[in-house]
Structure 1
Amino acid sequence: MKKRIFMLLTFIIIIILIKQYNIYYFFSFENISELKLYIKSFGIMAPCVFILMFALATVLFVPGLPITVLSGILFGAFWGTVYVVIGSTIGVSLAFFIGRYIGREFVKKMAGKNERMSRLDNYIKEQGNTILIISRLVPLFPFNLQNYVYGITDIKFGTYFWYSLIFMVPGTFIYTCFGALAYSSMTMDKIIIYSSFLLIGLCTLIILPKKFFNLKAEMVNNNK
């Protein structure tokens, strides 16, 4: 019990310090040029630094979209996706264990402040793995907080780990492609064409999984 309280207090202090020293700005789109120079300064170790940075950002509720786009700028679409997936998988795993170790009550209070996360918690109980797949594919759910919510459910870590790793790839690839395009030497016509395909892919990720989920929910209700 003492270890759990100590861990909880430490975690709260870290979050306060992050807000106090405006760490969120460091990982924001406004600061992306400086962040790019900072990571590149590590030379051959830049990918390792980036992966570690992304993992910590995931645990500490730092928005991951700017860093994901930056990965495409720094490493290209392919390797950018690889590094983001590795970093985010480490981060979501750590958040999962923190949520499971600290306990349901603390994370439930955090989720209770967000209506979508409260619905997500209920859906997990009712729909199991389906909502895990959808929440990883659809880039609308609050990504960082949902990792803690999964930790307080009955879902097995193995299922959570592999589903997270696999189904985060499509959205990650789209965002890193946007980053790679932003700093590419392509003509404007090609950039517009490729960006259009990426937007279509992003819309598909948002619409189709939700449609599938609604259809499955209707089938379940009709069978009751």
Structure 2
Amino acid sequence: MHSKKSHSKKMILHATVIMAFVGILSFALEHYGEGHLSALTAWIEASGNFAPFLFMVINVIGMVLVIPQTLFTVVAGVLFGAVKGTVMCLVSMAVGSSLSFLLGRFVLRGRVFKRFRNDPNFMKMEMLSRKHPLKVLALSRIVPVVPYSVANYLWAATGVRFLPFLIMSVVCLIPETVFMTAGGHLLSSGVRMGTVNWKMLAVLAAAAVLIAILVRAVRRSLDQE
């Protein structure tokens, strides 16, 4: 149980560090870069579907190349807003996870298994996925023991089927994605307009509570069985 709590703390610390980094960068661009953040968001609004499409393509490529997704998710909230940013990130995660899983299953499975076969996290994933695949998938997505993009390849090396993997990978990421994009949107509105978006703050708090509830529910179910 102690290790599980430490993973939760690491996830919160990681998200806080990413948000702080994006916030400082956004502040520097806006206040020391002659309003570059406002100019960038104005260009995005005027570009139609080009900017969102380009962002999602970069996000998918980053996922396949095992680049951490937290930064992309926060930036999506900064540039596109919480609602649009959430949708874009979930679509990107669905496509990127699918590509990574298929590459891991049919092209890189031998290499992945050879590299991680003695890793304790992978051994637990493989063992538990035989008995409780949906629950373990849910927990690994809600509280990632390993980074999301790395886990895509690890799950491909187990016996988990593609469709359950894809569904759980996207559905279980909704609360965290809403949390991160809402945080990014709060940073953006605070930096550019000097105001607090109370609706987004409420969404941020609600997403955090939902994540905590889901984590406890899935862990309790696994512990009982």
CA distance in 1, matches of 2:144, 2:208: 8
Match of 1:167 in 2: 172
Task: Give the direction of change, closer, same or farther, for the CA distance of 1:194–1:125 in structure 2 (3 Å limit).
Answer: same
Shift of 1:126: 2.9
Q: Give RMSD over aligned pairs.
A: 3.3
Match of 1:48 in 2: 53
Paired letter, 2:149: N
Match of 1:83 in 2: 88
Q: So what's the TM-score if we normalise by structure 2?
A: 0.70
SS at match of 2:111: helix
Residues 178 and 204, structure 2, Cα contact 8 Å, conserved in 1: no
Match of 1:156 in 2: 161
CA distance in 2, matches of 1:66, 1:202: 18
Match of 1:72 among 71, 77, 80: 77
Q: Deviation per CA, 1:22-60: give whole Å up to 9, x if none.
A: xxxxxx8587769x7599499330011011111111110
Match of 1:94 in 2: 99
Quick one: percent identity of the two aligned structures? 24
Match of 2:204 among 183, 198, 206: 198
Gaps of 5+ in 1: 1-27
Match of 2:195 among 187, 190, 193: 187
CA distance in 2, matches of 1:186, 1:125: 51
Q: So what's the TM-score if we normalise by structure 1?
A: 0.70
Match of 1:135 in 2: 140
Paired letter, 2:167: W
CA distance in 1, matches of 2:78, 2:218: 34
Gaps of 5+ in 2: 1-20
Paired letter, 1:109: K
Match of 1:109 among 100, 114, 123: 114
CA distance in 2, matches of 1:127, 1:219: 12
CA distance in 2, matches of 1:113, 1:40: 46
